[in-house]
Amino acid sequence: MSVGDKEAVKRRIEGLFQVKTQEEMIARNLRNVRFKVGVISGKGGVGKSTITANIAVALALKGYKVAVFDSDFHGPSIPKMLGVEDASLNVTNDKKIIPVEGPLGIKVMSIAYFLPDKTEAVIWRGPLKKKFFDDLAMYTLWGELDFLLFDLPPGTGDEALNLAQSIKDISGVIAVTQPTEVSALAVAKSINFARKVNIRVLGVIENMSYFICGDGNKYKIFSGDGGKMLSEMYNIPLLGRVPIDPRVAEYGDSGYSILIKNPDSEFSKVFNEIVERLVSILGVE
């Protein structure tokens, strides 16, 4: 054995016995995840969770292995939207948590599975959120994935910071806005936040951009051009403009995705284009 080989063996042994930091343990647990993407926005109700759930479905429909980590501590809605609200988590003998399996094999982990009741208000203090977020990132059996998507609560609070601090090699975030200036300005703060913590903003999605009426015409419901405005202000790609479709809300409440139910809808077409752009921006082959 050469001196170089001996050194390599020594380093490996040291590595095995080294006490790992929380971040290292998370990185180790996520080592087989190719892309980690967060979905952010400055405001609630803009459709962040709807967008996250549908990006997951659109990617899974293209054959990618996908998981969603719903880290909205105060309003976790991914399990309901993906129809796995009543499922429960299992734990392996070596204390790893098996995520729930949603449509198309999408793995789902959510704070919701730890809450006593759907309507219970849990008081989460900042450090507790960080601990819980880290534990779930670290002990969930994510396995081999192409994409791990993080759904976040609105704003630049604890959860967004936890994501930035705990997932060191995050691929980037997608910002979701509505067309209005009020919405776009709030989202601008989230983009600034991401930049401050050195996270790449992969693009912006404008949700609820227009409505297609029965007569086939497009009607703009909300004024403004928030997606374009943010895209130009920050020089980031506009990934797409998503229409309002009442079926999206209805299906969301009953745990279905419109991409599966109505693949020919305008919403589904737009989503396909969004994930194609995303995949190309990330350089996924």
The pair phi, psi for residue 77, each rounded to 5°, is -125, 0
242 binds ligand ADP (CB under 6 A): yes
Residue labelled with tokens 């200036």: 181
Site stretch for Mg ion (CB under 5 A), options 41-49, 62-70, 130-138, 237-245? 41-49
Using CB under 6 A, pick the residue from 38, 42, 47, 240 that binds ligand ADP.
Answer: 47
| Distance of closest approach, residue 96 Cβ to ligand ADP, in angstroms | 28
| Distance of closest approach, residue 47 Cβ to Mg ion, in angstroms | 8
Q: Are 69 and 99 in contact (CB under 8 A)?
A: no
Which 246-275 residues touch ligand ADP, going by CB under 6 A?
248-249, 252
As a whole number of angstroms, the distance between CA 148 and CA 38 comes to 8
Number of residues that bind ligand ADP (CB under 6 A): 17
As a whole number of angstroms, the distance between CA 203 and CA 157 comes to 20
46 binds ligand ADP (CB under 6 A): yes
Q: Helix crossing, 181-196 with 226-234: angle to 10°? A: 30
Residue 249 touches which member of ligand ADP, Mg ion, none, C-beta under 5-8 Å by kind: ligand ADP
As a whole number of angstroms, the distance between CA 248 and CA 85 comes to 17
Using CB under 5 A, pick the residue from 41, 49, 183, 207 that binds Mg ion.
Answer: 49
Residue 45 touches which member of ligand ADP, Mg ion, none, C-beta under 5-8 Å by kind: ligand ADP
Q: Are 209 and 242 in contact (CB under 8 A)?
A: yes
| Distance of closest approach, residue 77 Cβ to Mg ion, in angstroms | 5
The pair phi, psi for residue 55, each rounded to 5°, is -65, -40
What end-to-end distance do the CA atoms of the chain give, in Å?
39
207 binds ligand ADP (CB under 6 A): yes
As a whole number of angstroms, the distance between CA 176 and CA 240 comes to 10
AA letter at 213: C
45 binds ligand ADP (CB under 6 A): yes
Using CB under 6 A, pick the residue from 42, 50, 160, 271 that binds ligand ADP.
Answer: 50
Q: For the chain, percent helix, then strand, then coil, each to nearest 5?
A: 45, 20, 35
Q: In this structure, what token pair is assigned to residue 11?
A: 């380093």
Site stretch for ligand ADP (CB under 6 A), options 11-19, 42-50, 106-114, 122-130? 42-50
* Type and span of the H or E element at 46: none
Site stretch for ligand ADP (CB under 6 A), options 38-46, 105-113, 219-227, 273-281? 38-46
Residue 201 touches which member of ligand ADP, Mg ion, none, C-beta under 5-8 Å by kind: none
> Given the rule CB under 6 A, which residues bind ligand ADP?
41, 44-50, 77, 207-208, 242, 244-245, 248-249, 252
Chain positions contacting Mg ion, by CB under 5 A? 48-49, 77
